[in-house]
Amino acid sequence: MRTAVVLGTRPEIIKMSPVIRALEASKSDFFVVHTGQHYSYDLDRVFFEELGLKAPLRNLGAGSGSHAEETAKMLVGLEAALVEGGASGVLVEGDTNTVLAGALAASKMGLQVGHVEAGLRSRDRRMPEELNRVVTDHVSDILFAPTTVARDNLLAEGVERARVKVTGNTVVDAVKQNVELAERSPRVKALDGVGGGFILATIHRQENVDDKKVLSRIIAGVEMVSKKTGFVVIFPAHPRTRKAMLRFGVSPDPLLVRVADPVGYLAFLKLEREAEAVLTDSGGVQEETCVLGTPCVTLRDNTERPETVEVGANVVAGTTPVGIVKSAERMLAGKRKWRNPFGDGRAGEKIVREWRRRVE
Ligand code: UD1
Ligand code: UDP
């Protein structure tokens, strides 16, 4: 049995790292293929360096372009890379185009496919990620659901129970494995001169960023949160967002919101931990804040992580300034203590154990 781990973006590198560690610890035969979906140093290589991961066997250089272009390039490149590497099974994690391409290419080749973080549903088909989740889950052989909520989503879609294993989310493993190192990481430049508390923000979701009206509304909301609370907002901006702000000519007041380049994982974990609250449309950030005990305000109309809302760690604010400010005030006034719904930090081990049991 030879496993190919297919990954390509920032969150996949971070959340697959515990699975890669578990594959190494169990002396499994595996290799990593990178689709190249993310390629900028601060969305890609920095995580391999910080997490001590070996360079991928192949990088397909299939990043950017339209959804069709990107996915098509990946499918062609992956087929060849999987043959060349002698893969008999493929593991993918999450909901990006890389995940869709990895699962589709491998399943058409008759390889075993395991989907890590299966069963999440926003029920919002405007999101490319939702389409990727649904297709990936239904072509995969083994579905590693992080929670019972995710498992139940799969069962409700007619997936056989035997294909699903509840494992917890590897985000907890990654946080536990790195939080101490993160504490020792240097203070980010964007915090220079900030004496008191701060709020952290990230925005990159296609439906939030690629529409001038929505992006302007969200930025106005984030500025208002700063004005109302007196906390400066630190905003490490994804390149998609930077480009959109430039294209639309919208940028926040620098006295309220400090736009910065994306930061490494260790620095980001430290920011998340120290922030008074986090405003985000990121999936991984909703989970990490829930694990770290920092209140989260989700800048979207829905979430595929309802567990975070149920435990009181997160609120779905929508994308209007009023909604964002109200939600932020509510979360800032609330308690910072809740149950972690994402498992005990041993998801990577459980996934690899189950994967080997089923495919070997
Ligand atoms: C992708 C995922 C999204 C995930 C996010 C994680 C899909 C459909 N989207 O969104 O689910 O939350 O990654 O961050 O798979 N760019 C760079 N450098 C890079 C990568 C991208 O400058 O290394 C710029 C390019 O202009 C590119 C744009 O960002 O066109 C969007 O990149 P893309 O990978 O298509 O989508 P993300 O927004 O990163
Ligand atoms: N992250 C990071 N630096 C940043 C912003 C985010 O290291 O400047 C990490 C964060 O800790 C989390 C992951 O990136 O683990 C989330 O990725 P992203 O928001 O890009 O994608 P999503 O989770 O929404 O798919």
> Do 197 and 304 have their domain in common?
yes
> Do 195 and 80 have their domain in common?
no
The helix-helix angle for 128-139 and 97-108 (nearest 10°) equals 20
Q: Is the CB of 11 under 6 A from ligand 1?
A: yes
In this predicted structure, what is the pLDDT of residue 210?
97
Q: For a ligand 1 pocket test, name from 10, 34, 35, 38 the mutation site with the most ligand atoms within 8 angstroms of its C-beta.
A: 38
Residue 260 sits at φ, ψ, to 5 deg, of -135, 170
**Active-site annotation, residues:** 204
**Where does the chain have alpha helices with state H?**
10-25, 45-51, 67-85, 97-108, 128-139, 148-156, 170-183, 206-209, 212-229, 239-248, 265-274, 283-292, 306-310, 321-333, 347-359
Ligand 2 center from residue 20 Cα (angstroms): 18
Name the residue among 206, 201, 187, 204 with its Cα closest to residue 264.
Answer: 187
CATH number at 58 reads: 3.40.50.2000
CA distance 240 to 326: 27
Token digits for 294? 């920092």
Residue 287 sits at φ, ψ, to 5 deg, of -75, -45
Ligand 1 center from residue 44 Cα (angstroms): 11
Q: Is the CB of 326 under 6 A from ligand 1?
A: no
> Do 354 and 278 have their domain in common?
no
In this predicted structure, what is the pLDDT of residue 360?
87
Ligand 1 center from residue 38 Cα (angstroms): 6
CA distance 235 to 241: 11
> Do 323 and 352 have their domain in common?
no
Whole-number CA gyration radius for the chain: 20
> Do 120 and 59 have their domain in common?
yes
- Does the residue 103 lie in any domain? yes
CA distance 78 to 127: 24
Name the residue among 285, 337, 266 with its Cα closest to residue 52.
Answer: 266
- Does the residue 125 lie in any domain? yes
Distance between start and end Cα atoms, the chain: 6
- Does the residue 79 lie in any domain? yes
In the chain, what is the greatest distance between 2 CA atoms, to the nearest angstrom? 58
pTM, whole model, 2 decimals? Answer: 0.98
> Do 189 and 300 have their domain in common?
yes
- What are the helix and strand counts (H, E) for the chain? 15, 13
Name the residue among 204, 198, 10, 203 with its Cα closest to residue 93.
Answer: 10
- Does the residue 339 lie in any domain? no
> Do 146 and 242 have their domain in common?
no
- Does the residue 142 lie in any domain? yes
- Does the residue 250 lie in any domain? yes
> Do 8 and 38 have their domain in common?
yes
Total domain count, the chain: 2
Question: Quick one: which H or E segment has residue 236?
Answer: strand 232-236
> Do 37 and 142 have their domain in common?
yes
Name the residue among 48, 99, 47, 49 with its Cα closest to residue 78.
Answer: 99
- Identify the domain containing residue 309 by its residue range: 184-333
> Do 82 and 144 have their domain in common?
yes
- Does the residue 274 lie in any domain? yes
> Do 44 and 152 have their domain in common?
yes
Is the torsion defined by CA of 206, 211, 68, 137 positive or negative? Answer: positive
Instruction: Look at ligand 2, atom 3, and give the residue with the nearest C-alpha.
Output: 263
- Does the residue 116 lie in any domain? yes
CA distance 218 to 174: 29
> Do 328 and 348 have their domain in common?
no
Residue by residue, pLDDT tens for the chain (360 residues) are 999 999 999 999 999 999 999 999 999 999 999 999 999 999 999 999 999 999 999 999 999 999 999 999 999 999 999 999 999 999 999 999 999 999 999 999 999 999 999 999 999 999 999 999 999 999 999 999 999 999 999 999 999 999 999 999 999 999 999 999 999 999 999 999 998 999 999 999 999 999 999 999 999 999 999 999 999 999 999 999 999 999 999 999 999 999 999 999 999 999 999 999 999 999 999 999 999 999 999 999 999 999 999 999 999 999 999 999 999 999 999 999 999 999 999 999 999 999 999 998
**Residue recorded with tokens 């919101």:** 257
Instruction: Look at ligand 1, atom 26, and give the residue with the nearest C-alpha.
Output: 240
